[in-house]
Amino acid sequence: MLLSVIIPVYNAEKYLDRCLQSVFKAVALSKVSAEVILVDNGSTDDSIKIAKEFAAKSPLRIKILQCPTRGAAAVRNFGVPHALGEYIWFVDADDTIAENSIKLLIEKARKSKADITMMGAKRVYEDGHSDYLSAIDPKSSDYKSRFVRYGAGPWQFVFLKSWWVSNGFLFKEGIIHEDMELISSLILYTDKFASVDKPLYTYYQNEDSVLHKSRWDPHYLDIFPALTGLYNRFLRMGAAKEYHDELEWFFIWNLLIDSASDFSKFPEGKEGFLFSREMLKKYFPKWRKNHFLKQKPLKLRLRVRLNYRKSQYFGSFAS
């Protein structure tokens, strides 16, 4: 078995068949021995019915498992020990993969003997417009720096399973930013990195996503334990100093740009601005001088400073 595609499933009836069809086509075209591991997380819709119907009529090897612990992190962690493949690929149930994706990725991974093989991805927004998330070029002199500050999702990589397991990698359970706590640190554990810079994955942002809700969710504050966990990983690897600027930029982007947009939507978000300010003061008090921030357009730099100042309107977090 060359590849195990691990798909977390939770109330994905609107998207699951589309996802499975894309995986089936990719496996058929590649002629790679592959399996699909569907890990249900307590779905209350027809997700499992759809999965079973697809499995009954498809020649694709499909396992349907039940994970008792809630959350995407727990589901991915649960799926790995059941994987028989030489490589693992975490695919989200509401996304799709390109027909030539498995063929290209497995060929690249095996030829390069890579522990991590990255791909380009198309990101589709709810209004229909899209953009492209390029893959990092392993031939670039600063590819590790780029990897640390990139902020990719786990679905943008195929991993050598033996490498993943031997390092004891686990997604942090109980939070919604479970991938952020882990992914950017993975490049510290290997020099065997390869990529295919083509849109082999399509990531759909939809209204059902835990990261794109129309109402306040306390889990938005999970960004803070996720970033703390990531920083601690670099400390344990003795790499926090070497990658200081990259981590600093990663914090700036995720606290003062990405999460700030969520905090701004809701009255409850004021707590997020306070936490952001205190976290930056603790880990990166000189963040305004960040090398990567200085390279950004003036409009973005002003936005960052404005979001940092917003916390002043809510008083001191320490008090």
Contacts of 113 by beta carbon, 8 Å cutoff, 6+ apart: 192
Query: What pLDDT, on a 0 to 100 scale, did the predictor assign at position 315?
Result: 43
Asked if residue 212 has pLDDT above 80, the reply is no
Residues 236-274: pLDDT tens digits? 999 999 999 999 999 999 999 998 888 888 888 788 888
Which CA distances in Å does 190 have to 86, 130, 259?
A: 17, 32, 30
pLDDT at 144 over 80: yes
Output 163 or 205, whichever has higher pLDDT.
163
The pLDDT of residue 272 is 87
- Is residue 165 predicted with pLDDT exceeding 50? yes
pLDDT tens-digit series, residues 299-314: 999 999 998 987 666 5
Question: Could you read off the pLDDT of 1-40 as tens digits, one per residue?
Answer: 999 999 999 999 999 999 999 999 999 999 999 999 999 9
Answer whether residue 316 shows pLDDT above 70.
no
In this prediction, residue 255 carries a pLDDT of 94
Least confident span in 106-115, 231-240, 263-272, 278-287: 263-272
More confident residue, 66 or 128: 66
Q: Measured between alpha carbons, how far is 195 from 277 in angstroms, rounded to an integer?
A: 36
Does the pTM surpass 0.85? The reply is yes
Report, as an integer, the average pLDDT of 205-209: 68
Question: In this predicted structure, what is the pLDDT of residue 317?
Answer: 39
Q: Give percent above pLDDT 70 in the chain.
A: 95
Supply the pLDDT for residue 271.
85
Task: Report pLDDT for 313.
Answer: 63
Q: In this predicted structure, what is the pLDDT of residue 312? A: 63
Residues 57/62/68/70 CA torsion (nearest 10 deg): -90
The whole-angstrom separation of Cα 223 and Cα 202 is 24
Among residues 174, 190, 287, which one has the least CA distance to residue 229? 174
Q: Mean pLDDT over residues 191-216, rounded? A: 83
**Amino acid letter, 224:** F
Residue range 37-90, pLDDT digits in tens? 999 999 999 999 999 999 999 999 999 999 999 999 999 999 999 999 999 999
Question: Mean pLDDT in the chain?
Answer: 93
The predicted structure's pLDDT at residue 138: 97
Closest CA to 9 of 58, 55, 33, 42: 42
- Report the pLDDT value the prediction gives residue 211, as an integer from 0 to 100: 52
Catalogue all structural domains in the chain, each as residue range(s) with its CATH number: 3-204 (3.90.550.10), 218-314 (no CATH)
Residue partners of 232: CB distance under 8 A and separation at least 6 = none
Q: What is the mean pLDDT of residues 214-219?
A: 81
